[in-house]
Structure 1
Amino acid sequence: MLRIHCTAQDLLNVTVADHPAPLLELSLAFMALQRRDVPPAQGRWWRRSAKGLPRAARPLFQLLSPEGVGPLFLDPPTEGFEEGLESVLATSRARVRAELQRVCAAGLPVTPWLRSLADLDRTAWQELELALRAGYRHLIRREWPRLVSGFHAETAWRSRVIAQQGLQAAITSLAPGTRWRGTTLEAELPRDVEITLHGQGIVLLPTFFWTRHLLAAPQPDGRVVLVHPAVTPLSLHPLDPADDPLVTLLGSTRAHILGLLVHRRTTTDLARQLTMSVSTASTQTKALRYAGLVHSRREGKAVWHACTPLGLDLLVQSSAGQSR
């Protein structure tokens, strides 16, 4: 059983993640590959990925269990792979040892390679870097465009549930068996995990490779990332962005911008993320604003943009249409 003890402030600080996390998805993909009870919709991905998995990536199986157990330093919720890898390689010795002790106590075998990682052996950590790079190339990189598209549709829908039905409905619908007892969140889990929060809040993060129970990842800043299976599996999202009805309607750039604007962003933020000029980003948001899909507001020198209810509905309906 998972129990997360929240304060009133934590419940005021529940947010939806604003980007998918490539290293987290990589870890969850390795966990899923070790299971034999994958859903039918994921079967093709499982067979293809398991058959061609590079030898260099296989050491990660020693760190990640099919029950969702793994060291938290291995999958920081960063937006970019290289940024996340840099964070992994900079993990302190104390944290590495503490996390490896925790996952081994939860059932992972103590192997010579894990002992070498705990001792910060240079060769072992070079093998870890090679494993993460090889695993990312094989499992994540080719899926990333539709994973990002699916992520934006999922978080738009989840944000709308919070707005229309409230926080209780949004969180209890994350996975079967999830419930509230007062301000304590309970969820089914193969082992007992107790987490006590102190006001920093919860971040809801959908995943497209893990399809089972909720996973809770406490962060160094005091928040907990609550990882939950996406409503629409990755296999039901289009292989080609051109097959996305939202892309057909708006064009790929504006569809991407609309997905990003599930969370407020400035014109400069959009330009940076889409590697375009600020003036081009401004022109694109202007077109979306005239269509009633985005609203904009100037605060000081920055102009902030976000989806309107119509824009959110369009994202949600696009995702629902792809899954039928």
Structure 2
Amino acid sequence: MYFTLEDLLRVTLATEPAPLMELGLATAMLQRPGTDPVLGRWRQRTLRIFPRSARPLLELIPPTGKGPLFLDPLSQGLDEGLDLVRSSSPSFVRADLARLCKAGRPQTWWITRLAHQDRDAWQLLEDAVRSGHASLLAPAWHRIASAFDAEQAWRAHILAQHGIQATLTSLACGIRWAGTVMEIVSPEEREIHLAGRGITLLPSVFWTGRPLVGVYPRGPAVFVYPAITPLTLLPEPSTADPVAVLLGSTRAAVLALLTRERTTTDVARELGISKSSASEHTKALRHARLVVSKREGQAVWHTCTLLGLGLLNQSGAINEATKSPPPLIG
């Protein structure tokens, strides 16, 4: 893969999981028996419940994961992704499907009708995507998003501490650099010239194969690589408030209250705790850089930092922060 200076300046981390990309990779993994024991039980269980309405995806997406590019755009949700799929240019769709069949997928009547923009064929595709998403992704989306956040934080740390070269070579085994050319060990001979478009790094909790690179007509190329922790090794979601688990229920309530500036007396009164207790909690949060405090006369005012707001936002608690938490004691 050939990088220009402009490409190196445009290496970015995806901001969130891509639902259609994950759906395609999950569909590919369903067709790879014995390739990864970590996903073996998931594959057996999923094949038993995989809905008939989603099975057309098996025609389009091969076990290699190199399915149609028009079917896996980066998007912020299923509906937006489907809008992008439907807006793909007919020439791009035809060329993409021709590439797919040339690589070994059977040219079925349905694929032919897709290439000719048949309305019923495209409706069948949308139904298959929605059904596959509901079966494969929706039940696990909380875990997928949590794994993505952890992966993003880790890669951002590597990028900040060690730079772009170390970040890219750490994505998978068999990646090395020769000048501004990144080489990936693969049985496939392929040259990719980024030509200034840049590249977005996207982890997948389903994919365990070699990295995949998608070069789209517009926008940056996408480099898909296996996340550090695959889906089957992720813990089941907890109903507990993660901020409360981390900080304790009272301190989490204090932090949520401080999305608006309040005094120590305000905190004590609104949460039904003593002023000394409120002072201890705000002090601990200040030392953790989650709140900042300032004194005005006899009063000390406290408010969340960006770090504190980010913590609340990631947990979903930010949506409740404008409401006054109930007193913690009667």
Give the structure-1-normalised TM-score.
0.76
The question of whether the paired residues in 2 share the 8 Å contact of 1:197 and 1:222 is answered with no
The question of whether the paired residues in 1 share the 8 Å contact of 2:33 and 2:40 is answered with no
- Give 1:40's match in structure 2, choosing from 24, 37, 43: 37
Distance 1:228 1:245 in 2: 28
Which residue pairs with 1:302 in the alignment? none
Could you tell me how far 1:38 is from its partner in structure 2? 3.9
Which residue pairs with 2:91 in the alignment? 94
Could you tell me how far 1:30 is from its partner in structure 2? 0.4
Distance 2:244 2:70 in 1: 36
Higher relative CO (CA 8 A, sep ≥ 6), structure 1 or 2? Answer: 1
The question of whether the paired residues in 1 share the 8 Å contact of 2:174 and 2:184 is answered with yes
CA separation of 1:113 and 1:35: change in aligned 2, threshold 3 A: same
Distance 1:119 1:289 in 2: 61
CA separation of 1:222 and 1:48: change in aligned 2, threshold 3 A: same
- Give 2:153's match in structure 1, choosing from 140, 156, 159: 156
Task: Note the 1:10-49 alignment, pairs <5 A.
Answer: 10-49=7-46
What is the number of residues matched between the two proteins?
273
Distance 2:291 2:194 in 1: 35
Which residue pairs with 1:53 in the alignment? 50
Answer yes or no: is 1:204 the counterpart of 2:212: no
RMSD over aligned CA atoms reads: 3.1
- Give 1:169's match in structure 2, choosing from 146, 166, 170: 166
Name the SS for the 2:55 alignment partner: helix
The question of whether the paired residues in 1 share the 8 Å contact of 2:34 and 2:40 is answered with no
Q: Deviations over 1:12-67 (max 9, x none)?
A: 21111111001100000000000013423222221111111111101111111101
* Structure 2 residue identity aligned to 1:21: A
The question of whether the paired residues in 2 share the 8 Å contact of 1:67 and 1:190 is answered with no
Q: Deviations over 1:224-264 (max 9, x none)?
A: 11000001112222212347976620589x99xxxxxxxxx
Answer yes or no: is 1:215 the counterpart of 2:205: no
* Structure 2 residue identity aligned to 1:109: P
* Structure 2 residue identity aligned to 1:9: E
CA separation of 1:128 and 1:294: change in aligned 2, threshold 3 A: farther
Distance 1:7 1:50 in 2: 43
Distance 2:93 2:291 in 1: 44
Answer yes or no: is 1:184 the counterpart of 2:181: yes
Mark the runs of 5 or more structure 2 residues left unpaired by the alignment. Answer: 262-281, 293-304, 312-330
* Structure 2 residue identity aligned to 1:223: P
Could you tell me how far 1:213 is from its partner in structure 2? 0.3
CA separation of 1:112 and 1:19: change in aligned 2, threshold 3 A: same
CA separation of 1:281 and 1:170: change in aligned 2, threshold 3 A: farther
Could you tell me how far 1:145 is from its partner in structure 2? 0.7
Which residue pairs with 2:323 in the alignment? none
Give the structure-2-normalised TM-score.
0.75
* Structure 1 residue identity aligned to 2:86: L
The question of whether the paired residues in 2 share the 8 Å contact of 1:238 and 1:244 is answered with no
Could you tell me how far 1:283 is from its partner in structure 2? 4.8
Q: Deviations over 1:135-193 (max 9, x none)?
A: 00000001101110110001100110111122212111111111112111111334233
CA separation of 1:20 and 1:294: change in aligned 2, threshold 3 A: farther
Distance 2:94 2:72 in 1: 16
State the identity as a percent: 48
CA separation of 1:294 and 1:143: change in aligned 2, threshold 3 A: farther
The question of whether the paired residues in 1 share the 8 Å contact of 2:14 and 2:202 is answered with yes
Which residue pairs with 1:103 in the alignment? 100
CA separation of 1:184 and 1:53: change in aligned 2, threshold 3 A: same
Name the SS for the 1:179 alignment partner: strand
Could you tell me how far 1:118 is from its partner in structure 2? 0.2
Could you tell me how far 1:120 is from its partner in structure 2? 0.8
CA separation of 1:294 and 1:79: change in aligned 2, threshold 3 A: farther
- Give 1:193's match in structure 2, choosing from 190, 193, 204: 190
Answer yes or no: is 1:127 the counterpart of 2:124: yes
CA separation of 1:190 and 1:251: change in aligned 2, threshold 3 A: farther
The question of whether the paired residues in 2 share the 8 Å contact of 1:179 and 1:187 is answered with yes
The question of whether the paired residues in 2 share the 8 Å contact of 1:69 and 1:106 is answered with no
* Structure 1 residue identity aligned to 2:185: E
Answer yes or no: is 1:238 the counterpart of 2:242: no
Distance 1:294 1:7 in 2: 43
Distance 1:293 1:43 in 2: 42
Name the SS for the 2:208 alignment partner: coil
Name the SS for the 2:186 alignment partner: coil
CA separation of 1:251 and 1:176: change in aligned 2, threshold 3 A: farther
Distance 1:119 1:251 in 2: 59
Answer yes or no: is 1:113 the counterpart of 2:89: no
- Kindly name which structure, 1 or 2, has the bigger radius of gyration based on alpha carbons: 2
